[in-house]
């Protein structure tokens, strides 16, 4: 259970969708748990308990409400706000680390014993790593049952279960239904089982307000030929996943005043077991777990930033599907225009990228691995035009990744990441801060020396000297990354001047 039960009850009583995914409401008289915005009549206070996660509610013997679907909500925004071990563990579990490597792999990645990690998670979120991963698997299985015609055998393994029996038992416990009953109950039009041709189509929920168009356009403007493409509505890109290749297609969901905001995702997976990781990385890429109301409440009264946030409260920070790729793009993007960075990155992909087995439209390659980049820089440095100092930085980055000195994934501590990056030759604070913001989802990163930010600040009448701007930006904590997203969106924040440090 969670501490502030009275506040939770008021949120549930007012059907406040902002808290969907932050906690669930357990109704003791019915034995179910719901999202705070569930349209059902609010139970009496003495008949409810509140849990930080669906896994905790399931461990208490409750089953998911089939009306409001409490599992199909945006994730809690606090896991991106925090950098402690519990938050990093939650991000890694969401990426499927427990399914792939077990609790031992998760604890090793975080540097804690299994027992201590279980104790930390149980104390804070009411469930240990196995229970959290099991709840995630049950949600994945339900989604596949309701949206595809895949046989239960394939669904069980795609969702992360070790056996069909384990899948059946977990679904019965979580939803009080058999897999067949869930499928028959669903009114959703199912995708064809020919996944190679049609993919898996999912709705990825987001908290309102949500400007899907702006974040997709941001990614589209920086699309690397061969790896990404954007047709003005759908953003498409390749993704290297733990067990295979994938192509993801992301487009805005149909907006209405009553239903939840969402992104329509179509996933083409070479291995269905990568479903959990693919969904997690799409959510990270589009910042779908953000709390835009909290950002507005913190920044809305600021005389400079408040009007920008009020004009576009749904703006998000584009993330990344792979930390190493984002780090390479940040180095390439130092002191060149967006167009220039795209050109260099495309040449890098052409020279060292892996060809997709099943390309789609203009997406033909995966971004190069650290091995491939290290070999290219050492054996054929003329493959792409770039200053020697930047090639050395790329070589140092690849070497740090290959040696294990540097890990850029959701479980990395942002402070340690910054320190390791700036210790590498050719990598300074701008690059480290940028990688922390997009690869680790740090909401409080700030690039005071970025020329796009300096130009936007000057246009607003803000001090544009970096040291002074840093002091002014203290008032925007812990949402400085979102301030930058709004500043970058201003006209003329970017210009095609070679010395500008623009977002790659």
Q: What is the pLDDT of residues 27-71, one digit of tens each?
A: 999 999 999 999 999 999 999 999 999 999 999 999 999 899 998
Question: Is 34 tagged catalytic?
Answer: yes
**12 neighbors 48 (Cβ within 8 angstroms):** yes
For the domain made up of 195-270, the CATH class stated in words is alpha beta
Residue 188's pLDDT is 62
* Candidate list 8, 34, 38, 282, residue with the active-site label: 34
The pTM assigned to this predicted structure is 0.92
User: Which CATH superfamily is 91-147+150-185 part of?
Assistant: Homeodomain-like (1.10.10.60)
- pLDDT band of residue 378 (cuts 50, 70, 90) is confident
Residue 148 pairs with which residues in a beta bridge? 191
User: Cα–Cα–Cα angle for 411, 210, 312, nearest 5°?
Assistant: 115
Phi, psi of 247 (to 5 degrees): -125, 130
Alpha-carbon span 411 to 402, nearest angstrom:
17
Mean pLDDT of 411-431: 95
Residue 187 pLDDT greater than 70, yes or no: no
Is the preceding peptide bond at 209 cis, omega within 30 degrees of 0? yes
Report, as an integer, the average pLDDT of 92-101. 95
Per-position b or e across 404-427, b if 16+ CB within 10 A of its CB: eebbbbbbbbbeebbebbeebebb
pLDDT at residue 492, rounded to an integer: 66
| Average pLDDT score over residue span 234-263 | 87
Give the pLDDT score at 186: 76
Q: Percent of the chain at pLDDT above 90?
A: 79
Which of 289, 291, 442, 450 is the catalytic position? 450
pLDDT at 127: 95
Query: Which segments of the chain belong to CATH 1.10.340.30?
Result: 323-439
Strand 200-206 relative to strand 235-241, pairing = unpaired
**Domain 5-64 architecture:** 3-Layer(aba) Sandwich (3.40)
Give the percent of the chain with pLDDT over 70.
Answer: 93
Among 235, 421, 395, 254, smallest CA distance to 323 is for 421
> Is 450 annotated in the active site?
yes
Domain limits, CATH 3.40.10.10, in the chain: 5-64
Q: What is the pLDDT of residue 189?
A: 61
Please state the rounded mean pLDDT for residues 428-439: 96
Range list for CATH 3.30.310.20 in the chain:
195-270
The 10s digit of each residue's pLDDT in 480-498 is 999 999 999 998 665 443 3
Res 235 pLDDT > 60: yes
pLDDT of 146 reads 87
- In this structure, whether the domain defined by 323-439 belongs to CATH 1.10.340.30 is answered with yes
- Section 156-180 average pLDDT: 93
Mean pLDDT of the chain: 91
Bridge partners of residue 355, in order along the sequence:
365
């Amino acid at each position: 259970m969670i501490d502030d039960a009275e506040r939770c009850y008021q949120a549930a009583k007012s059907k406040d969708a902002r808290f969907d995914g932050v906690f669930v409401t357990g109704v003791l008289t019915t034995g179910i748990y719901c999202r705070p915005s569930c349209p059902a009549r609010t139970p009496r206070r003495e008949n409810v308990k509140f849990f930080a996660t669906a896994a905790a509610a399931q461990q208490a013997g409750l089953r998911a409400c089939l009306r409001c679907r409490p599992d199909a909500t945006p994730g809690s925004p606090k896991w991106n706000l925090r950098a402690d071990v519990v938050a990093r563990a939650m991000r890694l579990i969401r990426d499927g680390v427990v399914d792939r490597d077990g609790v031992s792999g998760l604890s090793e990645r975080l540097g804690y014993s299994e027992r201590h990690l279980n104790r930390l998670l149980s104390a804070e979120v009411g469930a240990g790593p196995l229970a959290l991963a099991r709840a995630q698997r049950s949600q994945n299985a339900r989604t596949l049952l309701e949206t595809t015609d895949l046989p239960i055998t394939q669904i069980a393994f795609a969702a992360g279960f070790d056996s069909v029996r384990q899948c059946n038992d977990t679904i019965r416990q979580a939803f009080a239904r058999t897999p067949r009953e869930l499928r028959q109950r669903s009114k959703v039009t199912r995708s064809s089982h020919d996944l190679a041709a049609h993919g898996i189509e999912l709705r990825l929920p987001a908290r309102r307000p949500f400007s899907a168009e702006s974040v997709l356009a941001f990614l589209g403007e920086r699309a690397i030929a061969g790896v990404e493409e954007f047709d003005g509505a759908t953003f498409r890109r390749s993704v290297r996943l733990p067990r295979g290749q994938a192509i993801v297609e992301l487009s805005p969901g149909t907006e209405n005043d009553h239903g939840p905001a969402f992104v329509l995702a179509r996933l083409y997976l070479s291995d269905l077991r990568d479903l959990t990781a693919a969904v997690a990385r799409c959510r990270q890429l589009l910042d779908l777990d953000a709390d835009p109301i909290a950002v507005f409440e913190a920044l809305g009264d600021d005389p400079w930033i408040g009007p920008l946030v009020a004009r576009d409260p749904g703006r998000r920070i584009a993330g990344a599907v792979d930390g190493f790729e984002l780090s390479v793009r940040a180095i390439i993007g130092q002191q060149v225009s967006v167009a220039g960075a795209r050109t260099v990155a495309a040449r890098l992909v052409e020279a060292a990228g892996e060809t997709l087995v099943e390309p789609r439209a203009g997406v033909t390659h995966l971004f190069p691995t650290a091995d491939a980049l290290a070999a290219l820089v050492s054996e054929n440095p003329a493959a792409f035009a770039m200053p020697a100092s930047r090639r050395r930085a790329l070589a140092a980055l690849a070497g740090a990744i290959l040696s294990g000195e540097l890990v850029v994934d959701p479980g990395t501590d942002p402070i340690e990441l910054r320190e390791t990056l700036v210790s590498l030759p050719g990598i300074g604070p701008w690059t480290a801060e940028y990688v922390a913001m997009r690869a680790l989802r740090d909401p409080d990163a700030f690039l005071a020396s970025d020329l796009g930010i300096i130009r936007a600040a000057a246009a607003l009448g803000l001090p544009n000297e970096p040291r002074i701007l840093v002091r002014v930006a203290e008032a925007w904590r812990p949402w400085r990354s979102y301030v930058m997203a709004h500043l970058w969106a201003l006209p003329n924040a970017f210009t095609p001047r070679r010395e500008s440090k623009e977002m790659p």
